[in-house]
A = this chain, B = another copy of it.
Amino acid sequence: MATSDPVYLRVVEDIRRQINDGTLLPGAPIPSRAQLTRKYQVGETAARHALRVLAAEGLIIGRVGSGHYVREQPELSPLHRWRFLDHPAPFAADLQSQGRRVTWDWHSEPAEAGPDIARRLRVDESVTVSRTRYVFRGDGKPLQLATSYEPIEFAAHSEDERRSLVTRMSAHGIKITEIVESVRTRVPRPTESDALDLPAGVHVLHVERTHWAGDRPVETSDIVIPGDRFQVVYSMPM
């Protein structure tokens, strides 16, 4: 029955097995297209397809002019979402605690809410909110994108920005009572691939976070994280 399987799958499965069981260690070269065609007695199309599938799975990486290599599986750095609740940039705090030199740019501007943000902030679609975009970098390399939305009356002025959201809100007499985050995975948008310098085939974790004051949302943000480098950690005391 396995005889009717596509030929390229035979190659994929054989190489995958060798990577999984450690026969091929990270960094090890994969046979080239030409070598695969000879070794497995398949056409170039099959060899090529096999390599592309393995690359899409993130198991190997192709370098033009050089060859395909077993991909070094980068450690998944944990982002502890609750550990730095009251911090101007909780993302950065967690990254710093891993010993990275974290820098970030941000830019704030008014923007129309639009359907998605309108729903999340419980305002009208045409309402103008304050949108702040962040780019976080570790040792110069981009690590995370975040876009935060707040009702314009609470918006941070430049001097305020160093203070955390919780502090800023309490200045308006608003007490944050709950933070809700939902995590999903998806394909990066082209701009995100660009900004985060993502290899092909890497998904992102998209965290949608909302700060609540009672039953009223006061801030919501989208946090986009390279799925091959980070995992998101939540801990809940009983």
- A residues 81-123 near B (Cβ < 8 Å) are 81-82, 85
How many copies of the chain does the oligomer comprise?
Answer: 2
A186, B231: Cα distance in complex, Å? 10
- Please, how many residues of chain A have a CB less than 8 angstroms from a CB on the other chain? 39
Contact of A182 (CB < 8 Å), options: B78, B178, B182, B190? B78
Beta-carbon contact of A183 and B234 below 8 Å: yes
User: Which residue of chain B is the closest to A176 with respect to CB atoms?
Assistant: B238
Q: Chain A, 173-212, contact with B by CB distance < 8 Å: what is the 0/1 string?
A: 0011111111111110010000000000101110010000
Q: What residues of B have a CB within 8 angstroms of the CB of A85 in the complex?
A: 236, 238
Interface residues as binary, A204-238 with B (CB distance below 8 Å gives 1, 0 otherwise) = 11001000000000000000000100111111111
A58 touches B (CB below 8 Å): yes
The answer for the CA separation of A204 and B205 in the assembled complex, in Å, is: 11
Minimum CB–CB distance for A19 against chain B, Å:
12
**Which residue of B81, B176, B182, B227 contacts A186 across the interface (Cβ within 8 Å)?**
B227
A208: which B residues are within 8 A, CB to CB?
231
A187 contact set on B, CB distance < 8 A: 57-58
Least CB distance from A179 to B in Å reads 5
The answer to whether A227 and B178 touch across the interface, beta carbons within 8 angstroms, is no
Give Cα A6 to B156, complex, Å: 43
A57 nearest CB neighbor, chain B only: B187
Q: A234–B79 Cα gap in the complex (Å)?
A: 14
A28 interface contact, C-beta 8 A:
no
Name A237's closest neighbour in chain B (CB-CB).
Answer: B178
Q: Closest B-chain residue to A177, C-beta based?
A: B238
- Please state if A177 and B227 are interface contacts (CB–CB under 8 Å): no
**Interface core residue of A166, A179, A185, A203 (most chain B CB under 10 Å):** A185
9 cross-chain pairs, A with B, having the tightest CB-CB distances, nearest first? A185-B185, A184-B231, A185-B227, A182-B233, A180-B235, A234-B234, A57-B187, A183-B232, A182-B231
Q: List 20 A-B contacts (CB under 8 A).
A: A57-B187, A58-B186, A78-B182, A81-B236, A82-B236, A178-B237, A179-B235, A180-B233, A180-B234, A182-B232, A182-B233, A182-B234, A183-B232, A183-B234, A184-B231, A185-B185, A185-B203, A185-B205, A203-B203, A203-B227
